[in-house]
Structure 1
Amino acid sequence: MTRVCLIGDPDCTLQYELLSRETSREALATYDLTRPFENSLAVRTVSIGAAVSLLNDLEWYLTRFVDEALVQEPSVSDDEWLSRPLARALRNGEIEPSETGEFCKVYGLERVSGPDTLATPDGDDAPHQDGQGDSNSAATSGPDDADSRPESDSASSDGDGSEAGVVSGTHRLVEPLFVRRTGGELPEYDLRDVDETLVVRLTESEYSP
Structure 2
Amino acid sequence: MTEVCIVGKDDVTLPDDLYAYETAYRALATYDPTFLWENALVVETISLGTAVSLLNDLDWYLARVAADAFVRDPSVSETEWLSRPLARKLRDGGGDPEERVNRLTVYGVADGRLVDPTMVLRGDAQEGTYERPEYDDTVVVRVTKEEFF
- Short-chain TM bin: over 0.9
Report the equivalent of 1:155: none
Distance 1:53 1:206 in 2: 20
Match of 1:196 among 127, 132, 137: 137
Q: Return the TM-score normalized by structure 2.
A: 0.92
Contact 1:34 1:41 in 2 (8 A): yes
Matches for 1:1-209 after TM superposition, within 5 Å: 1-111=1-111, 171-183=112-124, 184=126, 188-190=130-132, 193-208=134-149
Q: Deviations over 1:139-178 (max 9, x none)?
A: xxxxxxxxxxxxxxxxxxxxxxxxxxxxxxxx11121221
Structure 2 residue matching 1:99: 3-state secondary structure: coil
Shift of 1:12: 1.4
Structure 2 residue matching 1:35: 3-state secondary structure: strand
Identity %: 50
Q: Deviations over 1:1-20 (max 9, x none)?
A: 10001000111112111222
Report the equivalent of 1:120: none
Distance 1:186 1:175 in 2: 19
Report the equivalent of 1:127: none
Distance 2:55 2:74 in 1: 18
Shift of 1:108: 0.9
Q: Which amino acid aligns with 2:18?
A: L
- Structure 2 vs 1, CA of residues 100 and 51 (structure 1 numbering), >3 Å: closer, same or farther? farther
Q: Return the TM-score normalized by structure 1.
A: 0.67
Q: CA RMSD in A?
A: 1.6
- Number of positions where the alignment pairs a residue of Structure 1 with one of Structure 2: 148
5+ unaligned residues in a row in structure 1: which ranges? Answer: 112-170
More strand by share: 2
Distance 1:193 1:201 in 2: 21
More helix by share: 2
Report the equivalent of 1:167: none
- Structure 2 vs 1, CA of residues 205 and 21 (structure 1 numbering), >3 Å: closer, same or farther? same
Q: Which amino acid aligns with 1:197?
A: T
Contact 1:179 1:187 in 2 (8 A): no
